[in-house]
Amino acid sequence: MKKVLFYLLFSFVFLACNKDDDDNTETATPADNPIPEKYRALQGIFDGNGIGAATDLGMGVMLLFNQDGDKYAWYEDEEVKVVLDFDDSESIFRDSQLPSAGAACLTTASRLYIFNEEGEQYTFAEFDDSDVEGGWNDEDLFEWSSGFSNTNQWGPDNTISFDRVSAMWTLTNPGDGCFDAFVEYQTMNMADSNGDQMQPYDIPGFFFSDGPFDTDLWTAENNCGGADGLIPFDRISAACRYIEPNRIDELLFSADGTQFCFYSVSEGIVSEIFDLY
């Protein structure tokens, strides 16, 4: 536990998320080379609306939401299997108590939290994590909570430092050696609505500090002998894991959701920026 805390507090300088600001200037020029094949199906997603939230849902499965929070896509086996309105009659979110999604995150292998597009309210669902594969057409995949809560009530004694959340994601443990990363449900990041502050939350129930950290720059730990990787965005709108049998990638999406980069956890080599549109 001490290693994880040290890693989080000193290996990372957290990066901001901002979906509301119209100034989406980035720090790097988009790459000319094409999107890698395993992520190429993301190109053109949501007809240009951008990715505003994302979460893994298990091995090889991601859920992605547009910037408006009213559509979602199921990504599996390097393909977009379905894109539906959030409130569609066949949507896996149709029974949730929220009308949209602005942030999403697993807190256990079988519990998904979502925040509404404004980031002011959240709810959760339980699901069978052994039955996720091919679940894009399972309308009863999630068993939703019967209510929702306000964001300012998150944490023990309502200790969250802000009223709205714009992004959240569970951190992957990089392990001790090259490609030793492994999935765990220990800590997640929660970003405020302005994207300039972030608060790491320990899933058993406490924040790492009494107040949030200023966001600046996030580094990807390199356990393979090279320098830690630098993330080429000033701000992001979403981040999530993509879990494969022998590799775990972290994907990060630009503030307007139209670009992304990724890196393999523990290897620390960050990709170029890729355009989705």
Tokens of 25: 């200037």
* 74 is a domain residue: no
The residue to which tokens 């999530």 are assigned: 240
Is 268 part of a structural domain of the chain?
Answer: no
Distance CA 174, CA 265 (A): 6
User: SS3 letters for the chain?
Assistant: CHHHHHHHHHHCCCCEECCCCCCCCCCCCCCCCCCCHHHHHHCCHHHHCCEEEEEECCCCEEEEEECCCCEEEEEECCEEEEEEECCCCCCCCCCCCCCCCCEEEEEECCEEEEECCCCCEEEEEECCHHHCCCHHHCCCCCEECCCCEEHHHCCHHHCCCCCCEEEEEECCECCCCCCCCECCCCEEEEEECCCCEEEEEECCCEECCCCCEECCCCEECECCCCCCEECCCCEEEEEEEEEECCEEEEEEEECCCCEEEEEECECCCECCCEECC
Measure the CA–CA gap between 129 and 168, rounded to whole angstroms. Answer: 20
Domain count for the chain, please give it.
1
Does residue 197 sit within a domain? yes
Q: What is the reported pLDDT for 1?
A: 42
Residue 220 lies in a domain: yes
User: Quick one: pLDDT at residue 236?
Assistant: 82
Mean pLDDT of successive 10-residue segments in the chain (277 residues)? 39 40 43 82 97 95 98 97 97 96 95 95 97 93 95 78 86 87 86 76 74 66 86 85 92 92 89 95
Specify if 68 maps to a domain: no
CA–CA dist 253, 232 (Å, integer): 10
Is residue 48 assigned to a domain?
no
Q: Give how far Cα 117 sits from Cα of 103, 149, 201, Å.
A: 7, 14, 21
- Which residue in 52, 40, 36, 134 sits closest to 79, CA to CA? 40
pLDDT value at position 221? Answer: 85
**Residue labelled with tokens 């580094």:** 219
Both tokens of residue 232? 């080429």
Q: What is the 3-state secondary structure (H, E, C) of 207-227?
A: ECCCCCEECCCCEECECCCCC
Domain that holds residue 221: 2-36+94-236
Q: Is residue 69 in a domain?
A: no
71 falls within a domain: no
What residues are paired with 124 via a beta bridge?
113
